[in-house]
A and B are shown apart, each in its own frame.
Chain A
Amino acid sequence: MKCEDVRPKLTAYLDGELEGDRGSAVRGHLRSCEACRTASNDEAALRDGLRALPTLDAPSGMWAKIQTQLAVAEIADSEKPSWRRALARWNPQHWVTPRLALASGAVAVIFCVWAWRYSQRERELAPQTAFHLPQLPAVVTPPAPAPVTSADDVASELAAMPKTTSDSYAAAVAELEQLATGERAAWSDSQQKQFDAKIAELKHDIATADEGRPRHRAYRTLIRYLERATSRDEVAFADTRATP
């Protein structure tokens, strides 16, 4: 087996796709040919490096746009006259459905990116010695898609909702605290201290709770305590009230 026969099969060999004696022949050639062994090691290192690259998430709207484009294409297709659709059946292009075309396109793009990176690696490795593992350049993480910043979009409004609800609870707390201030005059020093300590504890719970339902629950606990303190004199008469 010659080098020009082995080189095209290296990728398949490394991926374990060569069966039987074909794999054995390549392996045998690599044992005896240092140049091909070097090429094989380089390709293995490059493949491992590529696998280590972080996976990038596609923009969230990408699939929706693809679906929309497919739908538009399908609608346009359905609006063609029947004779054109019949003619299209004989057109080899018709065999490729839009989905398949998109999938093929995606594969082609991935291949182009891989090929470009491979050629870059080849250029960088050219002056290096055999068996020297290629040094992959630092991975540049592309900037994350900018979030929708427009406050008038529903997504932004939904994201702000938990905070809005918390603000409503906070306003209710402020009013009840104001009401409780008027009641304090009738309380003893120890009762005031007890009240203040409880309020501080419940506010700490609010501050440490996650935004959303946990924080809303913490607010409701404080509100209920304040309601009892103001409407039922819970603090002032706690010691005179029978336990249920």
Chain B
Amino acid sequence: MKFVLLTLGLLAAPAFAEPTPAAKGEVVERSRVEINPAGHAFTNLAVDNPLGDVRVEGYDGNAVQIETRKHAPDDDTLDRLRVSLVPAADGSIRIATLVDNGKEVKHVSRSQVRIDLVIRAPRKTRVDAATSAGTLSIENLDAGGELDSASGSISVKNVAGELLTHSVSGPTSLVQVFGSVDAATISSNVDLDSINGEKLVASATKGRIAGRRVMSRDIELTTTDGKIVLEGEIALHGRLVVSSVHGDVDVRLRRHGAINVRARGGRVDLGQPANLIEHTAGWTVATLGRSSDPMASIELMSKYGAVSLAVIQ
């Protein structure tokens, strides 16, 4: 049987369940389960937890270890909290939390129950995770993933591979990401630190975007109301587009070759003297560096805010 070990692991799960001291008026149940693949290591992990936090940590092992912590006001409600675990033969695991429904259950509000998941997975696992109001964090993984949260925060640290993050009102923090990134929020901030990949796309409709040590080859940052602050490097033949409707745009870049800059805004400051500055149709166009060098393209714009660029040679 291919999943003998897995089954044994699941059967052993109740043995790890243990009561945990809880606050007054609250019942907490903590349990751990370890799933050992019989053949290839798990490659995909899908987590859907609308009831609390999700934390996924990569490690140098083959098993997936899941620690679950359930909080409820009483035992009856605790029994309604479920964690389903569906491993598939294709190397994927799906974990979902849910609340048992029924005609005769005692009604409780969402704020009274909680399920937090801490998962340790092989580094090469791709993570597809969704939370509602809980924190969603992943770290030390090498295959990227897609993270989705409504009002909870998203935190990523030391992750390689293609990464997509989406949030409605929870802040997003991406640190040490080595791969293409697409991060979108509606009404929260995006913080980027040490991003290095082929493409970086980030948008915040009503939030700010702050980037440090950003070295992606193709960068596109967009806000409607929030400020954009970016500090990083522009690659040879790189492309940078930073735009906002109401927010200021403040970019500080280290360049390796020449750059061609187009800027437009309520006030435009390109800092150092450029080889050539033109003003056409509201755009300020400048070239920095020798035109014989590989040329990178920069486009900065803010309809109603200030635009500034500082280039460090």
Interface residues of B in 75-104 (CB under 8 A from A): 75-76, 79-80, 98-104
Residues of B within 8 A of A61 (CB): 80, 100, 102-105
Interface residues of A in 219-244 (CB under 8 A from B): 220, 223-224, 227-228, 230-233, 241-242, 244
Q: For this complex, into which size category does the number of interface residues on chain B fall?
A: 35 or more
How many angstroms between the C-alpha atoms of A161 and B152 in the bound complex?
13
Contact present for B109 and A172 (CB under 8 Å): no
Residues of A within 8 A of B187 (CB): 172
Residues of B within 8 A of A100 (CB): none
User: What does the 1/0 interface line of B236-275 toward A look like (CB < 8 Å)?
Assistant: 0001010111000000000000000000000000000000
How many angstroms between the C-alpha atoms of A59 and B104 in the bound complex?
9
B1 at the interface (CB under 8 A from A): no
Residues of A within 8 A of B108 (CB): 153-154
User: What does the 1/0 interface line of A128-167 toward B look like (CB < 8 Å)?
Assistant: 0000000000000000011110101111011001001100
Residue contacts A-B, CB under 8 angstroms, 6 given: A146-B103, A154-B109, A155-B100, A157-B110, A168-B186, A227-B223
Q: Which residues of A contact B (CB under 8 A)?
A: 59-61, 64-65, 67-68, 71, 145-148, 150, 152-155, 157-158, 161, 164-165, 168-169, 172, 175-176, 179, 213, 216, 220, 223-224, 227-228, 230-233, 241-242, 244
Residues of B within 8 A of A68 (CB): 75-76, 79
A134 CB to closest chain B CB, in angstroms?
35
Contact present for B186 and A172 (CB under 8 Å): yes
How many angstroms between the C-alpha atoms of A150 and B241 in the bound complex?
49
Contact present for B110 and A232 (CB under 8 Å): no
Interface residue from A59, A147, A232, A242 paired with B222 (Cβ < 8 Å): A232
12 further contact pairs, Cβ within 8 A, besides A61-B102, A224-B203: A61-B80, A145-B102, A153-B109, A154-B110, A154-B112, A154-B113, A165-B150, A176-B224, A213-B148, A223-B184, A224-B222, A227-B223
User: What does the 1/0 interface line of B32-50 toward A look like (CB < 8 Å)?
Assistant: 0000000000000000001
Residues of B within 8 A of A147 (CB): 101, 103
B237 — nearest CB in chain A belongs to which residue? A244
Contact present for A231 and B245 (CB under 8 Å): yes
Contact present for A176 and B79 (CB under 8 Å): no
Interface residue from B102, B109, B186, B302 paired with A148 (Cβ < 8 Å): B102
A244 — nearest CB in chain B belongs to which residue? B239
Looking at chain A's contact residues, the main secondary structure is helix
B157 at the interface (CB under 8 A from A): no
B130 at the interface (CB under 8 A from A): yes
How many angstroms between the C-alpha atoms of A216 and B166 in the bound complex?
9
Contact present for B301 and A231 (CB under 8 Å): yes
B172 CB to closest chain A CB, in angstroms?
13
B244 — nearest CB in chain A belongs to which residue? A231
Residues of B within 8 A of A165 (CB): 150, 168
B297 at the interface (CB under 8 A from A): yes
B205 at the interface (CB under 8 A from A): yes
**Which 10 A-B pairs have CB atoms at the shortest separation, nearest pair first?**
A61-B102, A153-B107, A232-B243, A231-B243, A64-B79, A155-B101, A157-B110, A60-B102, A154-B110, A244-B239
Interface residues of B in 133-156 (CB under 8 A from A): 148, 150
| A220-B184 CB under 8 A given contacts A161-B50, A165-B150, A232-B222 | yes
Residues of B within 8 A of A158 (CB): 50-51, 98-99, 110
Contact present for A168 and B168 (CB under 8 Å): yes
Contact present for B301 and A232 (CB under 8 Å): yes
Interface residue from B109, B205, B244 paired with A176 (Cβ < 8 Å): B205
A72 — nearest CB in chain B belongs to which residue? B75
Interface residues of B in 147-187 (CB under 8 A from A): 148, 150, 166, 168-169, 184, 186-187
Interface residue from B79, B104, B224 paired with A67 (Cβ < 8 Å): B79
How many angstroms between the C-alpha atoms of A213 and B166 in the bound complex?
10
B216 at the interface (CB under 8 A from A): no
Residues of A within 8 A of B186 (CB): 168-169, 172, 223
How many angstroms between the C-alpha atoms of A213 and B147 in the bound complex?
11
B132 at the interface (CB under 8 A from A): yes
B303 at the interface (CB under 8 A from A): yes
A154 CB to closest chain B CB, in angstroms?
5
Interface residue from B113, B132, B299 paired with A161 (Cβ < 8 Å): B132
B218 at the interface (CB under 8 A from A): yes
Contact present for B109 and A150 (CB under 8 Å): no
